[in-house]
Amino acid sequence: MQADALVPAVSLGAMLPLWSTVPFAGMLLSIALFPLVAPRFWHHYFVQVSVFWSVIIVALLLFLQGGGVVHDFLHLMVADYLPFIILLGALYTISGGILIRGSLRGTPLLNTGILAVGTLLASWMGTTGAAMLLIRPLLRANAHRKHRTFIVVFFIFLVANIGGALTPLGDPPLFLGFLIGVPFFWTLAILPHMALAAGVLLVVYYFLDRYFFTRESPSLPPEEKEKEPLRVEGGYNFLLLLGVVGAVLLSGTVHWREISLFGMHRALQDLVRDALLLLISFVSLVVTPRRVREDNEFSWAPIKEVAVLFAGIFLTMLPCLKILQAGEQGALGFLTGAVREPVHYFWITGILSSFLDNAPTYLTFLSTALGGFYPGIPETKAVAQLIRERELYLEAISAGAVFFGAVTYIGNAPNFLVRSIAEEAGVPMPSFFGYVIKYSLTILMPVFLVITFVFF
């Protein structure tokens, strides 16, 4: 995601009324309600619903701001959405070519181990890469279980979100911080926060799984006498995953010239990264036998749903982001103006990251902190000074942006992918509000309160 695309744009954000965020609310409510009240309609027409809200927001902003807003929409889609979906698609495609065969029986201990391994991997191969690698083996290992929903939910909590907190490779907001001057290994400062959150969640998960496993034991099929040894097919895709990591690191470490694309300036290294990711994805498709993907139950449906819905989300959230980036001059000035202490940054960044793209939300509040403490100082120098003098603020912003992505299905793209794959495998997943009320509010929020009292 382009750092320069997300700097505060007061000229537009300060003029937008709060009601310009209504299409974004409509998009969220459509995602939340249609699968619950009209599942057949949603299955057949979710593309049209996304297009409907996208057309509404484009027409609304053209009416309010005129043709000048076209550049903002193009910049959002070309500089932000396309790199986002290219990276996501590459990780989904490559991970789908890695098949873990063997006899895995979903016991509480095994499931907890898979969640722990996924949490550790997420910071180094991205939350999407780790989630796509492990979700199918986890689902197959528990195919004989009756109660499986909570297993997938904790997988989303840990592997698709919290586990990505330790490096810029783990989650987009941290990579954005890396692009504007946060040292690559600084994010290890969040290790105590992540260890506490992951440790508590793994303990809660283990005892919850043991409870359900004990109840189900009398009705479970007997364990196979002849166990198939574990082995990996398509293992060369791990090398392609390393290629993805290398391409992402390349775009953050080299600084080549800018070129004009559709009237917008984009850094050449970002275009090279996107081209490399497309090439690596193509190589994975060519070299991986079709049988491996079929046995892995790989399909394009989950990534198609994510691509369509997040296109609508990116477009409709533009007024929200612009208003936030306008700071105290915007319609939400009362909110951004009240953010003063690290605890405020943790919760406000987190709550907004649950519903907005967490990368620009992270940058918005990092810019707020930098502007408040070091006005007039160049951004890179201000970041270094913030780390030296007020590191807790950066810890709060970073942890809030990453951790709270687990609160809703739309908080982080892997959440949607995992949910779609689980539903394809026959796991009954909760609705949008069911997920938030039954799991996020009752399990995640108490953990975040503990983190608040311990660290902020």
H or E segment to which residue 100 belongs: strand 99-101
Q: Is the pLDDT of residue 307 over 70?
A: yes
The Cα–Cα gap between 31 and 305 comes to 11
Average pLDDT, the chain: 84
Q: Is the pLDDT of residue 6 over 50?
A: no
* Residue 351 region by backbone torsions, left for phi larger than 0, else alpha for psi between -120 and 50, else beta: alpha
pLDDT tens track for 346-379: 998 898 888 876 777 787 788 778 777 877 777 7
SS3 9: coil
- 341 CB-near residues (< 8 Å, 6+ apart): 456
User: Amino acid identity, residue 396?
Assistant: A
Question: Is the pTM of the predicted complex or chain greater than 0.75?
Answer: yes
264 φ/ψ angles, rounded to the nearest 5 degrees: -120, 150
* Residue 280 region by backbone torsions, left for phi larger than 0, else alpha for psi between -120 and 50, else beta: alpha
pLDDT tens track for 211-231: 888 887 766 666 665 666 777
SS3 296: coil
**DSSP per position, 154-210:** HHHHHTTTGGGGSSTTTSHHHHHHHHTT--GGGGGGGHHHHHHHHHHHHHHHHHHHH
SS3 74: helix
Whether residue 177 contacts residue 1, with contact meaning beta carbons closer than 8 Å, is answered with no
CA-nearest of 179, 174, 180 to 126 is: 174
User: Amino acid identity, residue 63?
Assistant: F
User: Amino acid identity, residue 91?
Assistant: L
Q: Is the pLDDT of residue 10 over 50?
A: no
The Cα–Cα gap between 383 and 390 comes to 10
The Cα–Cα gap between 452 and 450 comes to 5
What residue ranges do the domains of the chain occupy?
Answer: 10-214+227-455
Whether residue 322 contacts residue 13, with contact meaning beta carbons closer than 8 Å, is answered with yes
- Could you tell me the pLDDT band of residue 25, with boundaries at 50, 70 and 90? confident
Low-confidence winner among 22-36, 66-80, 100-114, 282-296 (lowest mean pLDDT) = 66-80
Q: Is the pLDDT of residue 4 over 60?
A: no
For helices 237-253 and 108-141, angle between their N-to-C axes, nearest 10 degrees: 100
Chain mean position to CA 226: 40
The Cα–Cα gap between 270 and 7 comes to 17
* Residue 376 region by backbone torsions, left for phi larger than 0, else alpha for psi between -120 and 50, else beta: left
Q: How far is CA 271 from CA 70, 246, 265, 303, 309, in A?
A: 22, 14, 11, 22, 24
Q: What is the pLDDT of residue 118?
A: 94
